[in-house]
Amino acid sequence: MKASPTLTNNMQAVLADLIELHIQGKQAHWNIVGTNFRDLHLQLDEIVDAARLFADDIAERMRALHALPDGRSATVAKATNLPAFPEGLINTKDAIDRIVAALEAAVGTMRKVHDEVDEEDPTTADLLHTFIEKLEQFAWMTGAENMKASASVTQPDTK
């Protein structure tokens, strides 16, 4: 199978966000300070490792479909859907909020392109399912650090 331009563009969008997620995770990892520093420092490494693995998986899938992945920094900076990460030191509370926003933005891109990807190549859509599942889990676990017990959540109907 050879990827269409649409499938190629959709996979490239996912790739750009995953590379940017890796970069932002390392930026936070190196520059966080404050309460629960060590726990977040280690958790960020898990997120970075997953983002790097997922970026490699999608890039290799692109090549398997005769598409050319572009992971150059200029391409990623121009194409990513993730909000910019600040320079300098960042306290753990703010880093958590920003990393959760980055995770959610990356997942948002995957969900946005999913149906078009699935229509052309269900195998690539299966990769997106795996990525979405893990990144949403990271967003929940990371975000729980700042969540209030009074936060609005969806509960099952127990009637």
CB atoms within 10 A of CB 116: 15
pLDDT at 156: 82
CB atoms within 10 A of CB 55: 23
Provide the CB-side half-sphere exposure for 50 (13 A, CA).
22
* Residue, of 120 and 148, whose pLDDT is higher: 120
Residue 147 has pLDDT above 90, yes or no: no
Which residues does 20 contact at the CB level (< 8 Å), separation at least 6?
A: 76, 77, 80, 82, 102, 106
Q: Give the pLDDT confidence of 120-136 residue by residue, as tens digits.
A: 999 999 999 999 999 99
State the amino acid at position 136 in one-letter form.
E
Residue 96 has pLDDT above 80, yes or no: yes
